[in-house]
Amino acid sequence: MIDAMLGGLSGLIAGFAALQWSNALMMIIGGTLLYLGIKKDFEPLLLVPIGFGCIIVNVPLADLMEKEGFLRTLYDMGVITELFPLLIFVGIGAMTDFRPVLESPYTFLLGAAGQLGIFLVLLIALWMGFPYNEAVTIGIIGACDGPTVIFVASKYAKELLGPCTVAAYSYMSLVPVLQPPIMRMLTTKKERETIMKTHKKTVSDTTALLFPIVITVVGGLIAPMGLPLLATIMLGNFMKESGAVARLTKASENEIANIVTLFLGLSIGATMNGPLFMKPTTLIILALGLLAICLDTVGGVLFGKILYYVTGGKVNPLIGAAGISAFPMSARVVQKEGQKYNRKNYLLMHAMGANAGGQVGSVMAAAVMLSVLKGMGVI
């Protein structure tokens, strides 16, 4: 009987005995993500479930990521199948107003320049010895777009899903800290003070309605591998612009997006198992992700400067910084920065145009990248 009791007691301390230092450290990291989400308001909708998932997956012997574990079920159901990021995209499309970019279609180009970091960091990752699929996945952090990163990582480098996703969401929330110094470094005071003309309303409802369909078809023909990304974001936007399916639009931007965000966050947290996550590679990926987002800002602002000179000083180059996909955060950063140097400066709507262009740009960059890879026979 004593043996049975001792056996039973050993079962209660087995978890402590199996705890490795890397699990304990990951629990602290999970706690830090919770702190950043709750106290610092850094992307709480994602960081809270990711942080919680990270903590529970590091409890030994619970087998949450083993076959039939509940986190494994969520992961297999929505991440392996790429379903979660795509469902999130329907919600993002329903929440995004593309009219500012339609008012000034040239801002699409800022959205292209804001993807420079993706391709430069891909090159750096290759130089550092990462294999093709991993280099592509690391580069895509520069899309500054969580669902795109998850889509590409779950397709081509599942082992990098955790660090790449954490990097993407963390740096997106750090945009207000990361961008202003780069914007100031690359522009002169005179350029930052440039006042841009206020938009007149020039977009008809028909144009706004046709936009998602035309972009889906043309973009899909150019880069079919990225059609799921493009089609889902544009579906959400089409439903919003049509005004005919208010219930579906509301469900996409609220209930569906919320439920999927919870499941997605937990699934990402579940990939952060200590022994698998605690590698020097993780730190390198975090550093490269940071570099990618900084280079995106450099690309956008430099292209903004080109527009400034080409238009004879009519475009404030600061709006180039909004050519990334962190919507609408980077547009707000541009507005704040512009007003610092000229209180009469209202850059928000122009920056929103560049930001919406960045949203389409990041999806197109990923789509083009995947189709080029397919064309080269790499995937």
Partner 1 sequence: MMDKWTFGLTMLVVGMGGTIVTLILFSFIMSALKKIFPYKKEE
Interacting residues with partner 1 (CB under 8 A) = 101-102, 105-106, 108-109, 111-113, 115-116, 118-120, 122-123, 126-127, 132, 135-136, 201-207, 210-211, 214-215, 218-219, 222-223, 357, 360-361, 364-365, 368-369, 371-373, 376, 378
Q: Furthest-apart CA pair in the chain: how many Å?
A: 91
Cβ distance to partner 1 smaller for residue 32 or 202: 202
Q: Which is nearer to partner 1, 55 or 152 (CB)?
A: 152
Task: Decide whether 107 or 249 has the Cβ nearer to partner 1.
Answer: 107
Beta carbon of residue 203, minimum distance to partner 1 (angstroms, whole number):
6
User: First-to-last CA distance in the chain?
Assistant: 61
Least distance (Å) between residue 234 CB and partner 1: 12
Token pair 């928000």 is at which residue?
A: 348
Q: Residue 41 is encoded by which pair of tokens?
A: 């308001």
Nearer Cβ to partner 1, position 30 or 212? 212
Classify the phi-psi angles of 197: left when phi > 0, otherwise alpha if psi is within -120 to 50, otherwise beta: beta
Q: Which two tokens stand for residue 155?
A: 């397709």
Nearest to 361 by CA among 131, 115, 68: 115
Instruction: Please say which residue, 144 or 360, places its beta carbon nearer to partner 1.
Output: 360
Minimal distance, residue 344 CB to partner 1, in Å:
27
CB of 56 to partner 1, least distance (A): 38
Tell me how far, at minimum, the Cβ of 106 lies from partner 1, in Å: 6
For partner 1, give the closer residue by CB, 26 or 315: 315
Of 217, 222, 93, 109, the residue nearest 145 (C-alpha): 93
Contact indicator for 50, 33 with CB cutoff of 8 Å: yes
Q: Please, what is the minimum distance in Å from the beta carbon of residue 374 to partner 1?
A: 12
210 CB contacts (<8 Å, ≥6 apart)? none
What is the CB-side half-sphere exposure of residue 44 using CA atoms within 13 A? 6
Token pair recorded at residue 198? 């206020």
